[in-house]
């Protein structure tokens, strides 16, 4: 239990630092904005209480907001993801339920399940974030295009990270 908490704190710090120190400074164009810090919310253990998910989501989002100079947009988007996460997990729940002490990862539940689950959470995050950021309907379709392209790039990076860490675990 303590090891899991320490591992999650370390994961939180690493993902936020990579997001704000590396990815933020890479210019991928106006429409491509990957946010890998979402991986932290996506792979929280199944039995994480709803209140803890919402609290963690807020802390994660506000941490990123401090570096991006966004007035709570990331916090709002992360809390939206934290709010719908239990429902999405229930929607994709296997017949026998989830094994206790596990995390929703590619390695545990497979690629199709993970792509569906993570894809929904990422799209919701990006919809909330980009439409709050834009806050006008005059650029509705360009913002929607940005949501789709950024969601795809985020999902690709998150899947790559999942495989990178899986490979690392197999070597240990």
Work out how many domains the chain is built from and give that number. 1
- Could you report the per-residue pLDDT of 96-137, keeping only the tens digit for each? 878 877 888 898 888 999 999 999 999 999 999 999 998 888
Query: Which range, 18-27, 54-63, 162-171, has the best average confidence (pLDDT)?
Result: 54-63
- Could you report the per-residue pLDDT of 99-108, keeping only the tens digit for each? 877 888 898 8
CA distances from 32 to 35, 48, 77, 137, 169 (A): 10, 31, 17, 20, 30
Where in the sequence is the domain holding 159, given as residue range(s)? 2-171
CA distances from 120 to 81, 123, 154 (A): 9, 5, 12
- End-to-end C-alpha distance for the chain, whole angstroms: 21
Domain of residue 91, CATH code:
1.10.1760
- Could you report the per-residue pLDDT of 25-68, keeping only the tens digit for each? 777 777 788 999 999 999 999 988 999 999 999 999 999 999 99
């Amino acid at each position: 239990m303590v090891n899991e908490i320490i591992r999650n704190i370390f994961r939180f710090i690493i993902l936020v630092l990579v997001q704000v120190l590396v990815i933020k400074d890479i210019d991928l164009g106006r429409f491509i904005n990957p946010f890998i810090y979402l991986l932290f919310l996506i792979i929280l253990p199944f039995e994480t209480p709803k209140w803890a998910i919402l609290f963690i989501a807020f802390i994660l989002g506000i941490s990123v907001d401090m570096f991006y100079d966004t007035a709570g947009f990331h916090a709002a988007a992360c809390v939206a993801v934290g709010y719908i996460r239990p429902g999405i997990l229930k929607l994709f729940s296997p017949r026998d339920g989830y094994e206790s002490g596990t995390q929703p990862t590619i390695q545990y539940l497979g690629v199709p399940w993970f792509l569906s689950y993570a894809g929904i959470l990422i799209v919701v995050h990006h919809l909330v974030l980009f439409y709050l950021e834009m806050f006008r309907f005059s650029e509705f379709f360009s913002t929607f295009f940005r949501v789709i392209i950024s969601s795809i790039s985020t999902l690709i990076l998150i899947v790559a990270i999942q495989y990178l860490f899986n490979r690392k675990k197999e070597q240990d």
